[in-house]
């Protein structure tokens, strides 16, 4: 029996090591994030474009994302500002203004202003532990009557790239994150973001060694892939197939 135990022990330990290495991690709102220090103030730009089956590429917009740490109400808070300058099907601008607890990434408020063809649409949201509501005092808020219940606190889906940057990405890491897209009809729910390997891809200044992260957004068969630079964990690229077979790409350009 002792010989058998000695023979089986290495395999058992290897199995336990693999199991712990690939463990599912629930990322809960309000808890410290393991690599929050990687989220540094600064601005990055992405080009969004469509690739067709014949290899043609068509630009959609330039996507600017800025991370700040600002004072609001006497408190230091995380502040993410976005701007989308669109070219297809015509000129358009969208501006996002999102505030968070500076230590845990817990969302506080989110504002979205869209301008196209002379029309301006204002949307504003307040995140609470049990629901997301329309911002009551925001002028022209078209989402003032929103009240979306949540059975647990949720992260803001429109800042998923910055949140994923703060996680302990490693081979086999599988994060389950409760997200809500502000104003969306779908209730908050947990999504899986799993590190499936490593790959070196082209970046703005040369090759970048990346973690490859995949999710199906709870729609089996509809996979979206992210490439996060090892070290900084900044997103370098994201792409996903559209229902018509084309591919939507977001790529870092600075």
Nearest residue to 190 via CA among 216, 228, 224? 216
Largest CA distance in the chain: 81
Closest CA to 96 of 164, 177, 160: 160
Residue 67's pLDDT is 98
pLDDT value for 51: 94
Nearest to 212 by CA among 239, 185, 248, 183: 239
How far apart CA 108 and CA 95 sit, in angstroms, is: 17
The predicted structure's pLDDT at residue 11: 43
pLDDT value of residue 121: 98
The CA distance from 226 to 240, in Å, is 9
pLDDT at residue 19, as a whole number = 41
Q: Is 218 helix (H, G, I), strand (E, B) or coil?
A: coil
- What is the predicted pLDDT for the residue at 17? 40
Number of other CB atoms surrounding residue 57 within 10 Å: 11
pLDDT, residue 2, reads: 46
pTM, full prediction: 0.90
The Cα 102–Cα 186 span in angstroms is 27
- According to DSSP, residue 158 is labeled G
pLDDT at residue 53, as a whole number? 87
Q: What pLDDT score was predicted for residue 101?
A: 97
Note the pLDDT of residue 22.
Answer: 60
Q: What pLDDT tens digit does each residue of the chain (254 aa) get?
A: 444 344 444 444 444 443 445 679 999 999 999 999 999 999 999 999 999 988 899 999 999 999 999 999 999 999 999 999 999 888 999 999 999 999 999 999 999 999 999 999 999 999 999 999 999 999 999 999 999 999 999 999 999 999 999 999 999 999 999 999 999 999 999 999 999 999 999 999 999 999 999 999 999 988 999 999 999 999 999 999 998 889 999 999 98
DSSP label of 152: S
């Amino acid at each position: 029996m002792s010989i058998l135990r000695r023979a089986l022990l290495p395999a058992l330990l290897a199995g336990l090591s693999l199991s712990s290495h690939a463990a599912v991690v629930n990322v809960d709102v309000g808890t410290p994030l393991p690599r929050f220090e990687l989220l540094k103030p600064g601005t990055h730009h992405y080009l969004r474009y469509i690739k067709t089956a014949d290899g043609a590429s068509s630009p959609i917009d330039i996507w600017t994302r800025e991370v700040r740490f600002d004072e609001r109400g006497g408190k230091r808070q995380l502040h993410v500002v976005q701007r989308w300058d669109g070219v297809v099907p015509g000129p358009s601008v969208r501006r996002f203004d999102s505030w968070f607890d500076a230590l845990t990434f817990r969302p506080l408020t989110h504002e979205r202003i869209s301008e196209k063809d002379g029309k301006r649409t204002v949307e504003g949201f307040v995140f609470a532990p049990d629901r997301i509501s329309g911002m009551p005092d925001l002028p022209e808020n078209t989402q003032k009557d929103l009240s979306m219940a949540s059975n647990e606190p949720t992260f803001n889906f429109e800042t998923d790239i910055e949140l994923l940057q703060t996680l302990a990405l490693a081979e086999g890491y599988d994060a389950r994150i409760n997200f809500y897209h502000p104003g969306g009809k779908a209730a908050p729910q947990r999504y899986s973001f799993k590190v499936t390997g490593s790959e070196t891809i082209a970046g703005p200044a040369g090759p970048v060694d990346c973690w490859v992260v995949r999710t199906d957004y709870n729609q089996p068969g509809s996979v979206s892939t992210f490439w996060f630079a090892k070290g900084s964990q900044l997103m370098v690229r994201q792409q996903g197939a559209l229902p018509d077979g084309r591919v939507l790409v977001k790529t870092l350009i600075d």
